[in-house]
């Protein structure tokens, strides 16, 4: 069906809602020209390094095609913001490349609303985009500014390994969201919150920025992502799982295998970071929602212990939706 053209689409659903372009708001000093020209024109903050990341979510792969568009938008932008948080960057601008089967207002309106709500919450401005016809997919590129970037290649042998908050909720949520299993109202609420509204860990990143030696966000599962820090830093790690922060939903849904869910489940977007011993006391005094789970070591590989005994998870990696 011939819907409205590309230009009208962008203008109608995104132009007005996002206050794009030059304006009086908090981003007036960085956005010289927003949506509507060949390029957006942006003034980078002086003396800072820019951090940028792009992610694509494909219907039928990263989310069910029939999923609520409001939730899809919230999750898509939050997942991208998490990459900025993991770098200790403050959000500045983002672009949206949206491919749609047709220009259905019943889909676009809640999608744009979810995107705008999330953008406003995290102080990031939509500065450009492209709308094309085709199989539903969403590509978002976020850009932020940072003074103390947290890379994944800076860990040292002996550094403590930390994770933020709890892990395993998003993986435990998936069977509930897909209605493969039944759950209580509380479990469903926890599932939607964990899966659709992951919280980019800006506050934790900002607090640990001056002290941490390496960091990333846990998108593919803790063990795999810690493996990226190990590989990038040329190290291994010893983990003590006795106090590993397993999310309540993982415990209530998965019982005996909850620890494995927390170690290998993806989509939580919590931070994993390493901290040199000398900063341990300083960071502990900050009373952050973080747990020490192990220590980096020179020898490659990741060794786990539970109750003083070696322990191995039954599964690794993660399952896309």
CA dihedral 139, 87, 217, 173 (to 10 degrees): -50
Q: Which residues 135-154 are close enough to bind a second copy by CB under 8 A?
A: 135, 137, 139, 141, 144, 146, 149, 151-153
Distance of CA 100 to the CA centre of its chain: 23
8 A C-beta contact, residue 231 and residue 290:
no
Applying CB under 8 A, does 315 fall inside the site for a second copy?
A: no
CB of 65 to a second copy, least distance (A): 11
CB of 9 to a second copy, least distance (A): 13
8 A C-beta contact, residue 267 and residue 318:
yes
Applying CB under 8 A, does 161 fall inside the site for a second copy?
A: no
| Helical segments of 68-152, H only | 69-86, 105-122
Site string for a second copy, 225-264 (x = CB under 8 A): -------x--------------------------------
Residue 321 class from Cβ within 10 Å (0-12 exposed, 13-18 middle, 19+ buried)? middle
Bridge pairing between strands 236-240 and 302-306: parallel
Applying CB under 8 A, does 58 fall inside the site for a second copy?
A: yes
Applying CB under 8 A, does 87 fall inside the site for a second copy?
A: yes
Applying CB under 8 A, does 8 fall inside the site for a second copy?
A: no
8 A C-beta contact, residue 136 and residue 103:
no
Q: Which residues are annotated as a binding site for Mg(2+)?
A: 38, 53, 55, 83, 130, 217, 220
Give the footprint of a second copy on this chain (CB under 8 A): 32-33, 36-44, 46, 49-62, 83-84, 86-87, 89, 93, 95, 97, 99, 127-130, 132-135, 137, 139, 141, 144, 146, 149, 151-153, 216-217, 232
């Amino acid at each position: 069906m011939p819907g409205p053209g590309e230009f009208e689409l962008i203008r109608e659903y995104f132009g007005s809602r996002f206050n794009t372009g030059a304006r009086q708001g908090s981003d007036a000093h960085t956005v010289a020209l927003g949506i509507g020209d060949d390029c957006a024109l942006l003034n980078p903050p002086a003396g800072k390094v820019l951090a940028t990341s792009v992610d694509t979510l494909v219907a039928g792969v990263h989310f069910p095609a029939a999923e609520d568009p409001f939730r899809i938008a919230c999750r898509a932008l939050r997942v991208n913001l998490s990459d900025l948080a993991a770098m200790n960057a403050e959000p500045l601008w983002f672009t949206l490349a949206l491919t749609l089967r047709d220009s259905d207002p019943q889909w676009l309106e809640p999608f744009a609303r979810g995107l705008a709500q999330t953008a406003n919450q995290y102080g990031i401005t939509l500065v450009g985009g492209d709308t094309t016809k085709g199989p539903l997919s969403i590509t978002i590129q976020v850009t932020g500014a940072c003074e103390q970037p947290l890379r994944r290649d800076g860990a040292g042998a002996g550094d403590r390994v930390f994770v933020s908050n709890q892990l395993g909720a998003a993986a435990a949520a998936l069977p509930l969201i897909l209605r493969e299993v039944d759950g209580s109202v509380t479990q469903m609420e926890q599932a939607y919150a964990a899966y659709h509204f992951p919280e980019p860990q800006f506050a934790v990143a900002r607090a640990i920025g001056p002290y941490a030696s390496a960091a990333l966000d846990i998108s593919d599962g803790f063990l795999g992502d810690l493996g990226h820090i190990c590989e990038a830093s040329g190290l291994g790690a010893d983990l003590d799982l006795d106090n590993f922060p397993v999310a309540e939903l993982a415990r209530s849904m998965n019982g005996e295998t909850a620890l494995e869910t927390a170690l290998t489940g993806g989509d939580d977007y919590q931070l994993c970071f390493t901290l040199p011993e000398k900063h341990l006391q300083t960071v502990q005094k900050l009373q952050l929602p973080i747990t020490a789970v192990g220590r980096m070591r020179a020898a490659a590989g990741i060794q786990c212990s539970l109750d003083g005994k070696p322990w191995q998870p039954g599964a690794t990696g993660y399952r896309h939706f």
